[in-house]
Structure 1
Amino acid sequence: MSNTAPELNGRLGHLLKHAQLRLAELSAEALAPFGVSGRELAVLLVLAGQEAASQQQVAGRLGVDRTTMVAFLDALEGRDLVARRPDPGDRRRNVVVLTAKGADTLRRATEASDAAERRFLAPLSAADAERFRATLQAVALHDDASA
């Protein structure tokens, strides 16, 4: 970002865009050995964080549409990271679960992703990095309807 116009270096949109690009670059590099993207890692994390869920429930938690979710799950299922199974409580729907390979990939990819985040935050002290994360959560997760 050092070669950008100095007039833009104080603009929030410009800074957020370049910070996200840098984090995406570090994350992609860290996740490449595991054959998953950052978005696919998010799917695996959501699946690991709850009991067996339908693909519609997973899509809702991730905020993606049904078509996008099907594409993610098809790709992950093709690599034996997730499996679709009939819901024992409702045979009309399928649930999506991590496979053993998916759980192992999730563990190792999460460690690599965490290392990439630490590398991204390296210019900050530990306290500043924690404040930065908390501040981003406050802004990103703020519900305008409750204001």
Structure 2
Amino acid sequence: MARDAPPEVLTSRLGYLFKHAYLRLTEESARALAPYGIDGRELAVLAVLDAHAELSQLEAAGRLGVDRTTMVALVDTLEGKELVERRRSPQDRRKNIVRLTPSGRQRLHDAESARQEMERRFLAALSPSDATRLFAILQSLVTAPAPSERVPDAT
């Protein structure tokens, strides 16, 4: 479906551009991940769990930047799909350790390949060097302190 060109008055606004780029990206992501029966948030959980030998639900929630209730719902869903399993921590019986199942590890591998290909197609309008620069710029924006937290220069 062809999209109408946005009004020029909006295309000079950072918020508008970020929002609409994000909406397109999430649409493409949903389409790419649909064959694997997971969404982007679930893929992120699988990726974080795979990157760490042992994480509790709470630790995983912290890494993902989601609240405890959201994390429980995500793990419940992934457990229902047999992609993760919960186990009591041998060190602290109050903690649930969440691990990928073998099918979860395979699903992560397959879905990550689809995600990477989708991102490559999404960024195809950019030159490879511009795509690399965009990633670097976005990483800087995400990892830098919020403007309200920055100390003003004393000069």
Please tell me the TM-score bracket, short chain as reference: over 0.9
Confirm or deny that 1:53 pairs with 2:66: no
The residue number in structure 2 matching 1:71 is: 73
- How far residue 103 of structure 1 moved from its aligned partner, in angstroms, is 0.2
Q: TM-score, normalised by structure 2?
A: 0.90
Q: TM-score, normalised by structure 1?
A: 0.95
Task: Give the Cα separation in 2 of the matches to 1:23 and 1:35.
Answer: 18
The residue number in structure 2 matching 1:17 is: 19
- How far residue 92 of structure 1 moved from its aligned partner, in angstroms, is 2.9
> What does 1:1-147 correspond to in 2, within 5 Å?
2-144=4-146, 145=149, 147=151
Alpha-carbon RMSD: 1.2
Specify the code of the residue in structure 1 equivalent to 2:125: P
Q: Hey, which bits of structure 1, 4+ residues long, moved more than 6 A?
A: none
- How far residue 146 of structure 1 moved from its aligned partner, in angstroms, is 5.6
Residues 17-69 of structure 1 show CA distances to partners (whole Å, capped at 9, x for unaligned) of 11001111111000000000000000000000101110000001111111100
Higher RCO (CA-CA < 8 Å; seq separation 6+): 1
Quick one: percent identity of the two aligned structures? 52
Task: Give the Cα separation in 1 of the matches to 2:4 and 2:52.
Answer: 42
- How far residue 143 of structure 1 moved from its aligned partner, in angstroms, is 1.5
Residues 60-111 of structure 1 show CA distances to partners (whole Å, capped at 9, x for unaligned) of 1111111100000000000000000121222332200000000000000000
The count of residues paired between Structure 1 and Structure 2 equals 147
